[in-house]
Structure 1
Amino acid sequence: MTRPLSAGQLADRFDSVFGAAPDGVWQAPGRVNLIGEHTDYNEGFVLPFAIDKAARVAVRLRPDSRVRLLSTFGNQGLTTADAGSLNRGTARGWTKYPLGVLWALQQRGLPVRGLDLLLDSDVPRGAGLSSSHAIECAVISALNELAAAGLDARDMVLATQRAENDFVGAPTGIMDQSASLRAAAGHALFLDCRDQSIRLVPFDAESAGLVMLVIDTKVSHSHAGGGYASRRASCELGAEVLGVKALRDVGIGELDEACGLLDQETFRRVRHVVTENDRVLQTVGLLDGAGPAAIGPLLDASHASMRDDFEISCPELDLAVEAARAAGAIGARMTGGGFGGSAIALTPASEEQQVRAAVEHAFAGAGYPAPDIFSVRPSAGAMRLA
């Protein structure tokens, strides 16, 4: 795992690169989605939590329109751009995300000057933990303050969503940004994606004797790819045929009728979203009452639905889930947009090492590259560090 720089170390590195101290350092976390996958753009319910891995940016505004971007990882080197002529077609790599935020703020009519920015992040990339949104949320938190833009959390969520949709080219919803900007330590974020209303739901796995393991399969994915877009198109088709604004408006009791109106593939996509919304509501109810140890069967059912109905899993994710469950996890599922990335396994602390070893052994036996396995805990949302 990448070891993050402290705020002071990042500021010092910024000074050495750009020749002056930054105006400040901000961070925004990645996220794990506990349950509620592909429900966000269907105006449904999601239950993510921010994790203790984050993107950090040191930023200094410039008096001109020049933009200079550098990261502490990779070999892309210094990227320069003109804030007055941002172009989706010329952005590459991780720079799409800060440049997309700049562009989205300009589209809102906010005058954004040039800037220097240094990025550091320990959110695993391509693992389904929202590393890209962590960058965007750190950047918009910095610029909102430095430019005195006056955006509240909801505004920042929508601005970063526009950056993702219209600049990066990924048709994502609002879950990831909401988790990164609005989460709180020790809680999951129950989000209604129709009106952006939230409720913080206690999720203290540690006190319940549990640990949340993330199993990064090392199968990279991209929301800008065709698989994600085709699933979203299927959902929109299903809503249109069923005569509703969004699949949020379809209840479990209406699925039998929907089966007769939709082709089988579209019906399976619709069934996943409808049942997943119900699983989110059940999970919230259990966390409010019985606690984290009661939600395992819902995590398992969610994975089965994503594997069979939404068809966004892959052999590595299925193996991670199966091996973790067989070794003692009380529930496991893939998390994130799918087609790779990570699985999560809610595991008794006493079984953690056994689960880790079983997953590693299963991957070796299947000839897959060794996964990264690490624990995460619910953490605070975006903030200024220095």
Structure 2
Amino acid sequence: MSEPVVGGVAERFKELYGAEPEGVWAAPGRVNLIGEHTDYNDGFVMPFALPHVTVVAVSRREDGVLRLHSEDVEGGVVELRVDELNPGSDKNWTAYPAGVAWALRDAGHPVTGADIHLTSTVPSGAGLSSSAALEVAVALALNDLYELGLKGWQLARLCQRAENVYVGAPVGIMDQTASACCTAGHALFLDTRDLSQQQIPFDLAAEGMRLLVVDTQVKHEHSTGEYGKRRAGCEKGAALLGVEALRDVPYDGLDAALARLGNEEEVRRLVRHIVTENHRVEQTVALLEAGETRAIGPVLVEGHASLRDDFRISCPELDLVVDTALSAGAIGARMTGGGFGGSAIVLAETTDVDTITKAVREAFAAAGFTAPRVFEAVPSAGARRLS
């Protein structure tokens, strides 16, 4: 993060609150390479951090007041009291930072208020975890300022609780952990059951490849019903199969498990996706560790088909990105994120990037869709203090 950006955020904080901030922090959005909707099934995921970040300037307060301001939302400073924060009471953007303060206090940590100013370059509603970036940036700032001594995975857990309970969105643990714990030049192989982590080298440029993110500009909202329905369906499947979570259904036992589900066709589809997706994560890790990076392309394509046909969370725009990119020479492509819009990723040879980008833009124009936003995803650093 450049000095001018840090200085600009600090200067804006001073304009708003009349004093310099005690510090400036940043937390990134993420792209998930593979492992979709497996996180709330205790499964495997493989995200990496984007260079796009939420930046927060923060100072402590001792009077129980929480003041919040976003450069990216119309309106002035919002003032709340930390002892009056209640889950479900806030339906605005302020629920995310307020939820973090609530979660910290609810866990027994002595947060007595704060002045917070934030700005973000993470595209909102694009399936790139803009909410997790905001939560983790605020959590890291409060952790440092109040000397709470919490590690990245602990902050991620608290941020997930803030979003689950305070905001009311039934998200898994992946987004917050990726934002808090990823390292530059790597993808994070995460077991969401015990939060064990392995940093897998993922330097595409050195191998003559690029990973593009195509933001379809179709917005989604996690706290609305469809995401929750999928999660409830997965929990039903685990209960019917007598396992703690679908992560416990082995890949080589999938056919037997599906047979046991009988005529529960919707649950069968959900179970099939989760079990095969966990296997795809393990395949991807093995291929990357063996230096067979290009061989992950077909695995990504299989993942998209599973999300489209079994989990049923794709949309025409996402399918068009994947189909067009593959026809134009991409190594692999799939939707990424919660679904019902958002973004797709495209793995491509560096020499093919311009051709693929042009083909996708032209396909969207021909279909009458809003022009997509296309950018390169470079594995970047996780949350950190900037000043």
Aligned to 1:276: 277
1:316 aligns with: 317
Q: Determine the structure 2 residue equivalent to 1:184.
A: 183
Residues 88, 167 of structure 2: 8 Å contact kept: no
Q: Distance in 1 between matches of 2:3 and 2:347?
A: 25
Other-structure match for 1:218? 217
What secondary structure is seen at the aligned counterpart in 1 of 2:93?
helix
Paired with 1:313 and 1:287, the residues of 2 have a C-alpha distance of 26
Identity %: 55
Show the counterpart of 2:140.
141
C-alpha deviation, 1:110, in angstroms: 1.0
SS, match of residue 377 in structure 1:
coil
- Per the alignment, residue 208 of structure 1 pairs with 207
Structure 1 unaligned residues grouped into runs of 5+: none
What's the offset of the Cα at 1:186? Answer: 0.4
> Scaled by the length of structure 1, what TM-score is found?
0.97
The equivalent of 2:344 in structure 1 is 343
- Which residue of structure 1 lines up, in the alignment, with residue 103 of structure 2? 104
CA displacement at 1:344 relative to structure 2: 0.4
Larger mean CA deviation between 132-141 and 83-92 belongs to 83-92
Structure 1 residue 4 displacement after superposition: 11
Q: Check whether the contact 1:4–1:122 (CA below 8 A) recurs between aligned residues.
A: no
Q: Which residue does the alignment assign to 2:356?
A: 355
Which deviates more from structure 2 when the two are superposed, residues 65-74 or residues 360-369?
65-74
Gaps of 5+ in 2: none
AA partner of residue 130 (structure 2): S
Residues in 2 aligned to 1:14 and 1:291: alpha-carbon distance in whole angstroms: 47
Q: Which residue of 1 aligns with 2:365?
A: 364
After TM superposition, the structure 1 = structure 2 runs for residues 1-386 of structure 1, keeping only pairs within 5 Å, are 6-262=5-261, 263-386=264-387
Rounded Cα–Cα distance in structure 1 between residues aligned with 2:22 and 2:353:
42
User: In the aligned structure 1, how far is the partner of 2:250 from the partner of 2:225?
Assistant: 28
Number of aligned pairs? 384
Deviation by residue 1:337-385 (Cα, 9 ceiling, x = unmatched): 1111000001111111111111111111111110111111001110000
The AA in structure 2 aligned to 1:268 is R
Q: Could you tell me which amino acid in structure 2 is paired with residue 236 of structure 1?
A: E
CA shift for structure 1 position 74: 2.4
In the aligned structure 1, how far is the partner of 2:247 from the partner of 2:89? 37
1:93 is paired with a residue of what secondary structure? coil
User: What do the CA deviations read for 1:58-97 (whole angstroms, capped 9, x no partner)?
Assistant: 0011121111111111213321111110133442332111
**Following the alignment from structure 1 to structure 2, what is the Cα–Cα distance between the partners of residues 41 and 95?**
25
Q: Is the 8 A contact 1:47 1:191 kept in 2?
A: yes
Amino acid of the structure 1 residue aligned with 2:246:
L
Q: Within 1, Cα distance between the matches of 2:88 and 2:253? A: 43
CA distance in 1, matches of 2:279, 2:4: 41
State whether residues 124 and 131 of structure 1, in contact with CA within 8 Å, keep that contact through their aligned partners in structure 2: yes
Q: Secondary structure at the match of 2:96?
A: helix
Cα distance, 1:4–1:359 mapped onto 2, change above 3 Å: farther
Q: Name the aligned partner's letter for residue 10 of structure 2.
A: A
Q: What root-mean-square deviation, in Å, do the aligned CA atoms of Structure 1 and Structure 2 show? A: 1.3
The one-letter amino acid paired with 1:71 is S
Q: Distance in 1 between matches of 2:75 and 2:213?
A: 28
Name the aligned partner's letter for residue 303 of structure 1.
H
Contact 2:91 2:167 in 1 (8 A): no
Q: Secondary structure at the match of 2:220?
A: coil
Offset from partner CA, 1:235-287 (integer Å, 9 cap, x none): 10000111111111101222222222221110010000000000000000000
Range with bigger deviation, 143-152 or 254-263: 254-263
How does the TM-score come out when normalised to structure 2?
A: 0.97
Q: 8 Å contact 2:44–2:189 — kept in the other structure?
A: yes
